[in-house]
A and B are shown apart, each in its own frame.
Chain A
């Protein structure tokens, strides 16, 4: 269990860093700064 927890936490941290490096966060931010018309049911 302990090993799995450490492995998952480390993998999570590394994957977040990889996502930031690939600029995925920019896509999330771009989606978030505009009102998502589909999300609110306008389409």
Chain B
């Protein structure tokens, strides 16, 4: 999912916290999520229409005060991001320095981001078959709904980050997902979230409203994994068509059973599995199937202390984070 024709190649330069140089290496950041985020920001401000197309736009370095090739961030579609976007890649690279003994395990490190103009050969190899692919950008209809009224009728869960678009989730969705997760017990469960995108009648903000969940049919599940199969997607499409309510797929959900059941109490408290978490597989699935900045992932976790607990994840500045949302009572949903 790298750029086919990048304008710049980015590199990371690592050093220890004492300033000892570790090395410099080219990296291939996945910039598509940040493109999608920047595009959605423009949609939320009423500067661009919402269309069904992959967001484009060149990623440009923002040069540091020291000048090129050192960057202090990146710019895309008028939005700016700090070098924090490279943090995960920097950690992966640091792990390689640990593996070669150049960095001690647990030792802190610094990294700097560098950008170099791409060479003509810095493109991906051609695909198997030669044919043209023309993106089709179809307008996504955003019905006007007053955000203030929706907020008055709903309850905030978690903290609403100012960077996040408002999300409303029907209480029935949470209830059903929890029940299905509980029913599945020690095996993971999952499904698809469906609903509508609205435009605030009093402004430009885009609102996502999750009205229902479709349990995943033909999925393959065990205690640590849940697979959406081609038949799962076909069944979800068929269910959407049968409902005939002009809904769209807004995201997906899945459950995490209690991974800490057999762990001693003390270990549980420090364990990251004892909290809602997005695994690498979860992140990859979200990136692959739900890359638009408004797409969501609901996780229902059986936590050692709290039992089945929902948490909503979404895109923020091109990264997947746990986010706040509002719950809409079922009666309000039925009155739509």
Please determine whether chains A and B interact with each other in the same assembly: no
